[in-house]
Structure 1
Amino acid sequence: MQATSTANAATGEAFERALQAQTVCEAFQITAAARAGQVALRTPDGSVSVTYGTLAERVRRIAAGLAALGVRRGDTVGIMLTNRPEFHIVDLAVMHLGAVAFSVYNTSAPAQIAYMFADAGNKIVITETDFVERIEAVRDDGIPIDRIIVVDGEPNGTLGLDQLEKLGDPDFDLEAAWSTITPDDLLTLIYTSGTTGSPKGVELSHGNMMSEIRGLQRALPVTPGGRTVSFLPAAHIGDRWSGHYSPLAAWGFTVTCCADPRALMDVVKQVRPTMFLLVPRIWEKAKAALEVQIETDPGISGTLMRWAIGTGIENARVVQAGKTARPALALKAKIASKIIGSKIREELGLDQAAWFLTGSAPTPPDVFQFFAAANIPICEIWAMSESSCLATVNPPEGIRVGTVGVPIPGVEVKVAEDGELLIRGGTVMQGYRNKPEQTAEALDADGWLHTGDIGAIDADGYVRLVDRKKEIIINSAGKNMSPANIETWLKSSSPLIGQAVCVGDGRPYNVALFTLDPDGAAGRSIDDPDTIAEVAAGVERANTQLSRVEQIKKFKIVAQEWLPGSEELTPTMKIKRRSIISKYAEQIDELYAPR
């Protein structure tokens, strides 16, 4: 008993020291030393299980191997991997050399990969067998890649991860490398799409991420030694923060890697995470599945759950409307939560989670109401790559549906004269890589980040997002996309296409509205099968230049020509996106209707 108490005190003391660390490397070393025997990384089937002690040693060996290949402080290393333990290992190794690891989405087209590699300037890529052909195509097209390291084999003469570990000096002094890293050194690049269509490399430092970790610990305290599931792509800031840096460097969590997002909720039931971040689409699917289960249960439990959910939602709507629920209704809602709360939490695998987050895209109010009725308070957040992830969060004890909560400690938020929300604090990025003009547009002389979101702040400090100043699509899975970039490819894909508008904000996939080109499609009808087939062929050609999430799944050709100065176009021929989406709402809804 005494030994257990001593061990707990030691890990608790290490947790406090890790939170105050100057760099992510320092935090990881503190955590790994205190939790050497605890599992750090695993796969759902248990085929991979890596303790913190083993993880720290592999990080040292891989860092030594990379150093032998010439990787030095400030260099960049590209990573293209699925969600697997090797990502965490190699990213940590790169970081400890003072180098900058960055990831690209696995769905990226070769041209997109080439652009990011050219911008980052990396000479080394760490990948897996399934992506080697794409990386080789990028290299063969002129991008200078010296080494391709493969974590699950050695195809086509590439360097295997085991070989890399053997390349290094057995006496390589890792501490001498990481101890010289400062909070101002770059930690990673997060490539995010902008309105111009060209991805921007958000430069985040060690100090940025440690500020994020400390701010969130004050806003949403975490008990160290817990569990989480890493399921988002490593190129997404959400997974970098919640599935990698925070749990391994500071929290001392066991991270389970989920390579198949379709199996996520099954993995959650197995892991029973103590902290969980989900994109809105998954919460929506979980709600739909539970509703079907409740409706098809003919017994007493189904009846009770239907009553409880209905009562809880009724109370939630009253409170959301700014009114105080009647005492009888409030009591019924409390009883409802007790009746079904533990059952639904257990059914979802969330019975041990301290809090629940959602963000990256708008979440329908009925989702919050449903889960609140089931005693699962979902905290909506406002996050972006440029702020190291979370900027605001709804506190669990004070959730206000329709807002994204209050700023995390260490972050300031204010509204500019034109209604744009501005952010300042230690979490704000260093700038956009190789883009001084865009950096100057985003970061003013006083350190305020111009977010591109239009919003308001109430008297209690809660932030509400009203609109986007910049035209960026964020789909229901939280992926950022440039509609202008997608539309450029669409319009150039067929002489029949005149104007193109991509729709997909808050939706599961992208669709498009087209007008026919007055010259290229002269004399053609929008209902002519040949016309539709030729436009469809153009869409397929455009899709080959886009990542999978950017691709157009369905389209509709509209009859009316869009003229300058009309509802659809400005006098200078710019798309009036909001007006088009409003005017053609019925046609857009038809494109998303189940077949």
Structure 2
Amino acid sequence: MQTTFPRLLLQHAQARPQAPALREKVYGIWQTLCWGDLAQLVRHLACGLAEAGLRRGDHLVVVGENRPRLYAAMLAAQSLGAVPVPLYQDAASTEYVFPINNAEVAFAIVEDQEQVDKLLELRTPCPQIARIWYDDPRGLRHYDEPGLAALDALIAAGSAWDRAHPGFFDQEVQAGRPEDVAAMFFTSGTTGNPKGVVHTHFTLLDRANAGKSFDKLTADEEVLAYMPLAWIGQNIFSYAQWLACGYVVNCPESAATVMIDLKEIGPTYYFAPPRVFEGLLTSVTIRMEDASRIKRWMYQAAMALARRVGPAIMDGQPVATLDRLKYALGNLCVYGPLRNTLGFSRVRVAYTAGEAIGPDLFTFYRSIGINLKQLYGSTETAVFVCLQPDHEARADTVGVPIEGVEIRLADSGEVLVKSPGLLKEYYKNPAATAEVLTADGWYHTGDAGFIDSGGHLKIIDRAKDVGRLMDGPNDGAMFAPKYVENKLKFFPHIKEAVAFGDKREKVCAFINIDFEAVGNWAERRNLPYAGYTDLAAKPEVLQLVRECVEKVNADLAHDTLLAGSQISRFLILHKELDADDGELTRTRKVRRGAIGDKYKVLVDALYGGRNEQFIETAVKFEDGRSGSVSATLKIVDAKVFPTLRKAA
């Protein structure tokens, strides 16, 4: 698409100035910002930034939750030809040092006092930070720091600048080109420093429009923006496609009110990683377990029918008339109210991506009438590579290549992609760019997969993570850790898992229980506990998890390629894996290497045949304090099964 984000904004403002563009919930009340007012806000912010010294090609850091004025700040920077760099709002200040120095950032616009404090801490390691503007003034009244000011002051200064230079803003917008850099997103940095992924207006808008065409999106859609701005997925769904389609983006009041706000808005177009859908289903399961016997019976009977015929009805397949009538009754009494409780009563299209989603979880949502589908993409591909057509949604694939995308498989099994949405480069990292982009335009995804007979892409694991077992009964067998971990996480009682086995004789695993789900399970059995560490060590919980592990093993035994990846031994960690402790990325991907190094004593105990192991771990608490957690962890042997199907 031969345009830019600011030009699209002005087109919407001119065509329908009073139509809602953004909503934000403030003190329990939804406030609406129309396209005309948004364009005026962006104009004043851009003029204020220009007066402050932001120039074409400069970088502007944006940190905070989804807020209309932060969206406007990104558009303002793009209007000047500058490049917004969103960073994760929940990251520690030290995690900002590399991106800020790498991008030579001098200006930042942040949400509130928390983010101001973090950036002020960085003035020694990042001395080039000259100006910081904040959106929410609460707690900042008595701050007296050079270069620190309220966003309102920037807007006022920009308004005055606009009056003094009436043609400036429009000239700057018109000077922008589709091939200009539009934004930079830093990768998770699972190994080493994160990389700045550079995208142009063209790459982002091309993929946004490809997704728009695929799902027939219109200006009538409603979207809830609650994932981090720094995540490319949030940016595509709530920024690039927002401007491409002109629909309404709704910003929740806070992370704590997302579920309430979801029900109030009733989005028509929804996107979330599997863990969000898992959390919603866990909450439903807990509520039903606490319901009366009659309600439980009605729910179980209705869901049994839904699992049998719901997906077929969703896919437009023939279903017996009697079953259709029963399903209609179930929709009236159970499925409809359940969709409403979840906030999905108006959802037309829902997507999940980032990790594999469990078949049971996937089937649950589709069986109750929610058009949940999977997609495949990454930061480097501007998300949209493969999408699932409405009547071809399956739990074991990630869809078909969409408009403009070509896929081929390397001899190693790695998936290669050619697309108009590919990154321009990794910022200041030509070596890394050359590693992933070939001279003839193919991008190395790093994922191992294959195309099935229906033309759908199936992803097995990260190519670099696929290993081999050695020296045991399964010598030479393939080991796909992420595949195994995802199968474990399909169970509502397991939140995270880390599998080990490459170049070892067997597979062992660390497991995190889901504290809420297992806590509710324990309470219904009158099993007392005093926190996560105590609950995780209960013999009953160990047995519960053991049953989950053995179900995974039984399933793996049917897979000729991965039967050797069955888990022989496991332990339940004494603490939840945490991004603040360097164990997860900000997008909640496990740092397998870092975890293996940090908990080497536990890995050695698993493979050394021990039955228990003492461990003490330093942790960071939410309030910033440091402490430690210690426990003696039980190591559990799990049953493994013989391969049940041989290769043809």
What's the offset of the Cα at 1:174? Answer: 1.5
Letter in 1 for 2:302: A
What's the offset of the Cα at 1:299? Answer: 7.9
Contact 1:442 1:449 (8 Å CA) reproduced: yes
Contact 2:222 2:267 (8 Å CA) reproduced: yes
Q: Distance in 2 between matches of 1:503 and 1:58?
A: 37
Instruction: Provide the residue aligned with 1:515 in structure 2.
Output: 600
Give per-residue Cα distances to partners, 1:38-94, cap 9 Å, x unaligned: 222222333643221111001000100000111111110011112222211111111
Residue of 233, 238, 243 corresponding to 1:238 = 233
Residue of 121, 133, 158 corresponding to 1:137 = 121
Paired residues for 1:217-228 under 5 Å: 217-228=212-223
Paired residues for 1:89-128 under 5 Å: 89-127=72-110, 128=112
Instruction: Provide the residue aligned with 2:617 in structure 1.
Output: 536
Question: Helix, strand or coil: the match of 1:103?
Answer: strand
Instruction: Provide the residue aligned with 2:131 in structure 1.
Output: 147
Instruction: Provide the residue aligned with 2:409 in structure 1.
Output: 415
Letter in 2 for 1:225: D
What's the offset of the Cα at 1:338? Answer: 4.0
Higher RCO (CA-CA < 8 Å; seq separation 6+):
1
Letter in 1 for 2:195: K
Unaligned stretches of 5+ residues in structure 1 = 1-19, 485-499, 519-524, 560-582, 587-595
**Gap change, CA 1:461 and 1:552, over 3 Å in 2:** farther
Kindly, what percent of the aligned residue pairs are identical? 25
What's the offset of the Cα at 1:333? Answer: 7.6
What's the offset of the Cα at 1:256? Answer: 1.4
Contact 1:203 1:431 (8 Å CA) reproduced: yes
Question: Helix, strand or coil: the match of 1:232?
Answer: coil
What's the offset of the Cα at 1:379? Answer: 0.4
Paired residues for 1:186-585 under 5 Å: 186-247=181-242, 249-294=243-288, 297-298=291-292, 303-315=297-309, 331=324, 334-335=327-328, 338-339=331-332, 340-471=334-465, 512=595, 514-516=599-601, 532=615, 535-537=616-618, 540=619
Contact 2:105 2:129 (8 Å CA) reproduced: yes
**Gap change, CA 1:142 and 1:92, over 3 Å in 2:** closer
Instruction: Provide the residue aligned with 2:63 in structure 1.
Output: 80
Contact 1:195 1:470 (8 Å CA) reproduced: no
Q: Distance in 1 between matches of 2:586 and 2:249?
A: 31
Contact 1:333 1:373 (8 Å CA) reproduced: no
Q: Distance in 2 between matches of 1:82 and 1:97?
A: 23
What's the offset of the Cα at 1:296? Answer: 5.0
**Gap change, CA 1:412 and 1:296, over 3 Å in 2:** same
What's the offset of the Cα at 1:146? Answer: 1.2
Letter in 1 for 2:44: R
Instruction: Provide the residue aligned with 1:71 in structure 2.
Output: 54
Q: Within the alignment, does 1:156 sit opposite 2:139 as a pair?
A: no
Q: Distance in 1 between matches of 2:52 and 2:251?
A: 28
Instruction: Provide the residue aligned with 1:180 in structure 2.
Output: 175
Q: Provide TM-score, normalisation by structure 2.
A: 0.70
Give per-residue Cα distances to partners, 1:251-280, cap 9 Å, x unaligned: 222221125333222111111112111221
What's the offset of the Cα at 1:35? Answer: 2.3
Give per-residue Cα distances to partners, 1:502-559, cap 9 Å, x unaligned: 58999898895623499xxxxxx9978xx74xx323xx3xx59x999xx999987799
Q: Distance in 2 between matches of 1:419 and 1:319?
A: 35
Q: Distance in 1 between matches of 2:351 and 2:600?
A: 40
Contact 1:21 1:27 (8 Å CA) reproduced: no
Q: Distance in 2 between matches of 1:286 and 1:89?
A: 31
**Gap change, CA 1:179 and 1:443, over 3 Å in 2:** same
What's the offset of the Cα at 1:292? Answer: 4.0
**Gap change, CA 1:506 and 1:250, over 3 Å in 2:** closer
Question: Helix, strand or coil: the match of 1:390?
Answer: coil
Q: Distance in 2 between matches of 1:62 and 1:308?
A: 54
What's the offset of the Cα at 1:143? Answer: 3.5
Contact 2:190 2:591 (8 Å CA) reproduced: no
Instruction: Provide the residue aligned with 1:170 in structure 2.
Output: 162
Contact 1:208 1:428 (8 Å CA) reproduced: yes
Q: Distance in 1 between matches of 2:436 and 2:421?
A: 14
Q: Distance in 2 between matches of 1:459 and 1:215?
A: 24
Q: Distance in 2 between matches of 1:166 and 1:194?
A: 38
Q: Distance in 2 between matches of 1:505 and 1:584?
A: 32
Contact 2:311 2:367 (8 Å CA) reproduced: no
Q: Distance in 1 between matches of 2:261 and 2:388?
A: 26
Is the deviation greater in 468-477 or in 159-168? 468-477
Q: Which runs of 4+ in 1 moved over 6 A?
A: 316-320, 472-477, 503-511, 525-528, 551-559, 583-586
**Gap change, CA 1:444 and 1:483, over 3 Å in 2:** farther
Letter in 1 for 2:181: L
Contact 1:308 1:336 (8 Å CA) reproduced: no
Residue of 30, 37, 53 corresponding to 2:11 = 30
Question: Helix, strand or coil: the match of 2:123?
Answer: helix
Is the deviation greater in 38-47 or in 192-201? 38-47
Q: Distance in 2 between matches of 1:411 and 1:547?
A: 46
What's the offset of the Cα at 1:135? Answer: 0.5
What's the offset of the Cα at 1:425? Answer: 1.1
Q: Distance in 2 between matches of 1:552 and 1:29?
A: 54
Q: Within the alignment, does 1:53 sit opposite 2:41 as a pair?
A: no
Contact 1:311 1:336 (8 Å CA) reproduced: no
Question: Helix, strand or coil: the match of 1:72?
Answer: coil
**Gap change, CA 1:450 and 1:297, over 3 Å in 2:** same
Q: Distance in 1 between matches of 2:266 and 2:371?
A: 17
Contact 1:73 1:97 (8 Å CA) reproduced: yes
Question: Helix, strand or coil: the match of 1:396?
Answer: coil
**Gap change, CA 1:275 and 1:318, over 3 Å in 2:** closer
What's the offset of the Cα at 1:356? Answer: 0.9
Letter in 1 for 2:215: L
Q: Distance in 1 between matches of 2:600 and 2:297?
A: 51
> CA RMSD for the aligned pairs?
4.1
What's the offset of the Cα at 1:24? Answer: 1.8
What's the offset of the Cα at 1:286? Answer: 1.8
Question: Helix, strand or coil: the match of 2:228?
Answer: coil
Contact 2:20 2:34 (8 Å CA) reproduced: yes
**Gap change, CA 1:295 and 1:329, over 3 Å in 2:** farther
Q: Distance in 1 between matches of 2:228 and 2:298?
A: 39
What's the offset of the Cα at 1:342? Answer: 2.8
Question: Helix, strand or coil: the match of 2:407?
Answer: strand
